[in-house]
């Protein structure tokens, strides 16, 4: 039970823009009521992990799962990600499942915080399992204050810092935290590839552990067709 | 023969200028575009020079850290040349060994604090829209707010995150943008001109131990130098202080150097001991806590020993995300983009 003064979590990457409305409730094309303005929730973003000349940049978007700081003690130092399904955060912008879609700068967005990642590409349970497993791997590797670390610090003083200098060079691969994390990410991406070649989880070393990013195939703007049953999601 | 000599010198110049000089000290601004293969060779937006092929770096602006290092080295050389032989035979070999150990420790912690990654963060990975629109459109209003999110031990005050309009990333709590280094740093304490580097999650421990060893070394050296000038001079047959100083000026010089050299590090050490006992950074203290009795530090574990241990004994920051020696990637993270502007700034710029 939360008190009225407790802060609530939300995805702070998303923002609201006015957009041109599209057909509400029935994806059959525009009609005269579609000039009504909509408040669209921008919840997928440009792909910064590829070159802008790369075709992948133009056919994919990024769904961002931000850091959460109430998962465990020391979450500001030990990266932990939100286990809420995108769109289900306590302070997420919500609405009916069939609330409007609109177009903003050539991309299709909805009026809620729900993204195309879940459940279109990844199920709710699978998403939670991935994030929970990633959080556990990171927590395990990042426990900074242990008896071992204290002994190493004292040993560093005794060895005039040679221990930390030489040790970090010898363990160079291990010091880039997350060989197991990268292996898990690559394993997840093998499964994603079967669903769509552009669907992938970005390596945390690329995101700087600031986000857990998912690359999803792009939802393109639908060209206006007269009364044809044109599917909204045309990328599959 | 003259032609051979000329060719040989040309070769030596080539090796020194292009291989040794560029490998020992690399200034990204002086690397030609076709030779930029690794991140550090293309890092023109940072104020760093890279050492030993990008394995460590220094801020090139106002290199006071080099002056500190030179002072340390000079003091050490003076001691070993002029004082160590006497101390070895007339006091104890342990006196010289202990000073040597403290001196090496101080120098190593200075080097580690100066050249370690303080917790540099990537850039341009949280753009709200396409980068080509940065000069044309203002950023969303939501990106200029400070967001408070629930924190594990405090769900009412919480932890704050803020967007960095220069680096184009949402900063985690305790992360700040350094104007000197033009980069966001994890657990940014301050930018220290005396070590020529930011003090952050990656090197705070080394900075603290550098302060401690400097103070101990200064006290140790000063004590033995003034003992030599006062008590031990009579053993050498100098009743007058002035005569002894004429005979051995380096003793007094090192004593005075220790007295001067201990003042600032001691003050900093006391200040940072207070900060670490409360698990608060310099930036948080000066911007929020100082003079504000209502400030709540959510990162304080409410145990002085645990707070001290976190800062002095915990493992260095592991999630290093900046790898200077990695091959350059052709993506947004390596591009220099204009800052995200707010609606007010854009409107002002348009009107003018």
| A33 vs A16 pLDDT, higher one | A16
Structure tokens at B11: 């070769």
- Residue A147 reports pLDDT greater than 90: no
Q: Return mean pLDDT, chain B.
A: 87
Interchain CB distance below 8 Å, A153 and B205: yes
| A160 vs B206 pLDDT, higher one | B206
Q: Average the pLDDT over each of A89-98, A181-190, B10-19, B115-124 and give the range with the smallest value.
A: B10-19
Q: A90-140: per-residue pLDDT in tens?
A: 888 877 655 678 888 888 888 888 888 888 899 999 999 999 999 999 888
What does the domain layout of chain B look like in residue ranges? 1-60, 63-121+175-321, 127-173+329-352
Q: Average the pLDDT over each of A197-211, B195-209, B330-344 and give the range with the smallest value.
A: B330-344
What is the chain B residue with the closest CA to A73? B152
**What is the pLDDT averaged over residues B219-233?**
90
Structure tokens at A68: 């959460």
Three-class SS of chain B: CHHHHHHHHHHHHHHHHHHHHHHHEECHHHCCHHHCCEHHHCCCCCCEEEECCCCEEEECCCCHHHHHHHHHHHHHHHHHHHHHHHHHHHCCHHHHHHHHHHHHHHHHHHHHHHHCCCCECCCCCCCCCCHHHCCCCCCCHHHHCCEEEEECCEEEEEEEEEEECCCCEEECCCCEEECCCCEEECCCCEEECCCCEEECCCCHHHHHHHHHHHHHHHHHHHHHHHHHHHCCCCCCCCCCHHHHHHHCHHHHHHHHHHHHHHHHHHHHHHHHHHHHHCCCCHHHHHHHHCCCCCCCCCCCCCCHHHHHHHHHCCCCCCCCCCCCCCECCCCHHHCCCCCCCCHHHHHHHHHC
Residue A2 is predicted with a pLDDT of 46
User: B18 to chain A nearest CA, in Å?
Assistant: 26
Predicted interface score ipTM higher than 0.90: no
Which residues of chain B make contact with A149, given a CB cutoff of 8 A?
Answer: 313-315
- Residue A25 reports pLDDT greater than 60: no
Please state, for a pLDDT cut of 70, what percent of chain A lies above it.
75
Q: Average the pLDDT over each of A66-70, B199-203, B272-276, B346-350 and give the range with the smallest value.
A: B346-350
Active-site positions of B?
A: 192
Q: B244-270: per-residue pLDDT in tens?
A: 888 889 999 999 999 999 999 999 999
Q: A74-83: per-residue pLDDT in tens?
A: 888 889 999 9
Residue A234 is predicted with a pLDDT of 31
> Which residues have a Cβ under 8 Å from the Cβ of A99 and sit 6 or more positions away?
A24, A110, A111, A112
| Cβ neighbours around B342 below 10 Å, total | 16
Whether chain A has a CB inside 8 Å of the CB on B280: the answer is: no
Which residues of chain B make contact with A157, given a CB cutoff of 8 A?
Answer: 105, 209
User: A38 to chain B nearest CA, in Å?
Assistant: 16
- Residue A160 reports pLDDT greater than 50: yes
Paired strand residues for A54: none
| B285 vs A2 pLDDT, higher one | B285
Interchain CB distance below 8 Å, A12 and B161: yes
User: A97 to chain B nearest CA, in Å?
Assistant: 25
CA separation for the pair B301, B154 (Å, rounded): 11
Structure tokens at A11: 């995805």
Whether chain A has a CB inside 8 Å of the CB on B152: the answer is: yes
- Residue A230 reports pLDDT greater than 60: no
Chain A / chain B CB contacts < 8 angstroms: 171
- Burial group, residue B252, by CB count within 10 angstroms (0-12, 13-18, 19+): middle
CA separation for the pair B31, B27 (Å, rounded): 7
Split at pLDDT 50, 70, 90, the class of B275 is very high
Which residues of chain A make contact with B214, given a CB cutoff of 8 A?
Answer: none
Paired strand residues for A122: none
Interchain CB distance below 8 Å, B206 and A161: yes
Which residues of chain A make contact with B158, given a CB cutoff of 8 A?
Answer: 7, 69
Interchain CB distance below 8 Å, A48 and B312: no
**What is the pLDDT averaged over residues B232-248?**
83
Structure tokens at A98: 């069939």
Please state the separation of Cα A52 from the chain's center in Å: 20
Split at pLDDT 50, 70, 90, the class of B20 is low
**What is the pLDDT averaged over residues A28-38?**
56
Residue A165 is predicted with a pLDDT of 75
Which residues of chain A make contact with B129, given a CB cutoff of 8 A?
Answer: 42, 45-46, 105
| A6 vs B279 pLDDT, higher one | B279
Q: B110 and B154 in contact (C-beta within 8 Å)?
A: no
Whether chain A has a CB inside 8 Å of the CB on B205: the answer is: yes
Return the H-helix or E-strand segment holding A175. helix A172-175
**What is the pLDDT averaged over residues A150-172?**
75
Q: How many CA atoms lie within 13 A of A191 on its CB side?
A: 12
Best residue in A8, A46, A90 for a mutation probing chain B (most B CBs within 10 Å):
A46
């Amino acid at each position: 039970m939360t008190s009225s003064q407790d802060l609530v979590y939300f995805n702070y990457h998303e923002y609201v823009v006015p957009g041109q409305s599209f057909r509400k409730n029935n994806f059959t094309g525009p009609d005269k009521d579609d000039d009504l303005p909509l408040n669209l929730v921008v919840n997928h973003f440009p792909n910064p992990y590829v070159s802008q000349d790369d075709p992948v940049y133009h056919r994919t978007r990024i769904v961002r799962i931000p850091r959460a700081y109430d998962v465990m003690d020391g979450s500001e130092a030990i990266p932990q990600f939100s286990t809420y399904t995108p769109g289900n955060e306590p302070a997420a912008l919500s609405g009916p499942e069939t609330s409007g879609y609109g177009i903003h700068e050539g991309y299709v967005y909805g009026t809620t915080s729900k993204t195309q990642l879940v459940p279109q590409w990844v199920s709710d349970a699978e998403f939670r399992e991935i994030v929970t497993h990633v959080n556990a791997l990171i927590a395990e590797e990042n426990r900074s204050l242990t008896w071992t670390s204290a002994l190493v610090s004292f040993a560093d003083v005794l060895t005039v810092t040679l221990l930390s200098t030489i040790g970090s060079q010898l363990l160079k691969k291990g010091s880039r935290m997350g060989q197991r994390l990268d292996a898990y990410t690559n394993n997840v991406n093998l499964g994603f590839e079967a669903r769509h070649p552009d669907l992938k989880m970005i390596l945390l070393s690329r995101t700087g552990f600031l986000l857990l990013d998912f690359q999803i195939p792009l939802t393109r703007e639908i060209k206006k067709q007269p009364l044809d049953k044109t599917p909204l999601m045309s990328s599959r | 023969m003259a032609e051979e000599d000329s060719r040989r010198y040309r070769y030596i110049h080539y090796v020194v200028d292009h291989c040794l000089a560029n490998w020992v000290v690399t200034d990204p601004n002086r690397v030609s575009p076709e030779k930029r293969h690794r991140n550090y060779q293309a890092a023109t937006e940072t104020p760093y020079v890279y050492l030993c092929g990008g394995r460590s770096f220094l801020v090139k602006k106002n290199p006071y850290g080099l002056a500190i290092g030179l002072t340390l080295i000079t003091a050490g050389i003076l001691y070993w040349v002029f004082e160590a032989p006497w101390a070895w035979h007339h006091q104890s070999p342990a006196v010289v060994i202990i000073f040597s150990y403290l001196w090496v420790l101080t120098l190593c912690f200075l080097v580690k604090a100066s050249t370690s990654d303080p917790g540099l963060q990537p850039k341009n990975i949280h753009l709200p829209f396409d980068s080509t629109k940065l000069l044309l459109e203002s950023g969303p209003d939501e990106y200029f707010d400070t967001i408070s999110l629930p924190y594990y031990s405090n769900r009412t005050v919480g932890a704050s995150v803020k967007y960095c309009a220069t680096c184009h990333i949402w900063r985690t709590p305790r992360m700040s943008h350094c104007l000197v280094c033009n980069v966001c740093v994890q657990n940014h304490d301050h930018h220290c001109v005396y070590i020529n580097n930011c003090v952050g999650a990656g090197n705070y421990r080394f900075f603290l131990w550098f302060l401690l060893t400097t103070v101990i070394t200064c006290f140790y050296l000063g004590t033995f130098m003034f003992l030599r000038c006062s008590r031990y001079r009579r053993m050498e047959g100098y009743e007058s202080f002035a005569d002894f100083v004429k005979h051995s000026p380096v003793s007094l010089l090192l004593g005075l150097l220790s007295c001067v050299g201990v003042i600032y590090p001691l003050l900093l050490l006391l200040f940072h001991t207070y900060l670490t006992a409360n698990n608060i950074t310099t930036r948080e203290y000066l911007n929020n806590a100082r003079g504000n009795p209502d400030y709540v530090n959510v990162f304080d574990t409410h145990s002085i020993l645990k707070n001290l241990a976190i800062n002095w004994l915990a493992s260095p920051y592991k999630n290093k995300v900046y790898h200077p020696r990695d091959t350059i990637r052709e993506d947004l993270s390596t591009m220099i983009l204009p800052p995200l502007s707010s609606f007010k700034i854009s409107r002002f710029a348009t009107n003018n």
